Amino acid sequence: MSFPPTFAASFTSPETASPFAAAFAALRAQAPQLRAEDVATRRQRLGRLESWLSSHRTDIQAALHQDFRKPAAETDLTEVWPSLTEIRHTRRHLQQWLAPQKVGTPLSLLGTRSWVQLEAKGVVLIIAPWNYPFYLALDPLVSAIAAGNAVVIKPAEQTPATSALLRRLAEELFRPDEVLVVEGGKDTATALLALPWDHIFFTGSPAVGKVVMRAAAEHLSGLTLELGGKSPAIVDDTANLRDAAEKLVWGKFLNAGQTCVAPDYVLAHHTVRDALVQEMRAVLRRFYDPEGAGVKQSASLARIVNAQHFARVVGLLEDAQVRG
């Protein structure tokens, strides 16, 4: 199935939001029709999305490898499989979720009936992050489509190959007044945030989350923020150190550590600290350098997304070494 190409625009300053006016108006005009669609129609739309993901698995792998050098198996595990699982779960339960729920009626309203009816919000903006750029764009998209909304996705500019693939997905599956992908950087995001969205879904850092929250407040837009945090791991003196080391290394080095729930630091009992470090070194060699050619040559390890983030990580490592 093919539809007219998705609108796309690039911006040089936040003041040039006017190119979005026609696209936003089209989405707003289409929103009531999407809201009125029955469960079967929404499930069919999600079914097309599921089929596209299944038939374009190698394209997804190629895009993530271009952006991160992410291994194909890791892309399947962290980008493709979770997206397919989300779609299938939503299709399976959508009828139940959208069914009116009877609730009690107060005595003062005797003679009436009461129920909870879920309704679409309208036009939704999804600002996706760079660390899992495919899955974390698709996951909220599935929910937005299931709920009957028109959607705009702003992919991360740090992952251009995945961003282009998301745009292609939208162009091949949806009309531009149903799902619209807009590529660009900070100025594009700023221009988008100036519009009166019915809901905004943002995944990213707390610092940018505050910016998004202020923009949403201007229009009293609904808002979902999924922000980063700290994830300590605790290893006590009763732990199986080999098992702990394998789990810590896998969790930390998946996606080259660029995961919001990756273990940030380890609190180890002083009696097992040195042994745990040795076990982790052995696991690193076993996972990423079994031939002794060096971890840098590993095809099983994703890479840091760009030079800026690489320099930031190097700075953190150097600071830790200096501070002991």
| 246 counts as catalytic | no
Strand pairing class (150-154; 179-181): parallel
| Cα distance between residue 42 and residue 13, in whole Å | 37
| Nearest partner of 188 among 10, 51, 4, judged by Cα | 10
Name the catalytic one among 79, 86, 171, 260: 260
| Cα distance between residue 191 and residue 127, in whole Å | 12
Instruction: State which H helix or E strand residue 34 sits in.
Output: helix 20-36
Instruction: Identify the three-state secondary structure at position 103.
Output: strand
Contact at 8 Å (CB) between 127 and 13? no
| Cα distance between residue 102 and residue 203, in whole Å | 34
| Cα distance between residue 152 and residue 127, in whole Å | 9
First and final C-alpha spacing in the chain: 59
Instruction: Identify the three-state secondary structure at position 65.
Output: helix
Name the catalytic one among 226, 246, 279, 318: 226
| 260 counts as catalytic | yes
| Cα distance between residue 241 and residue 90, in whole Å | 39
**Which residues belong to the active site?**
226, 260
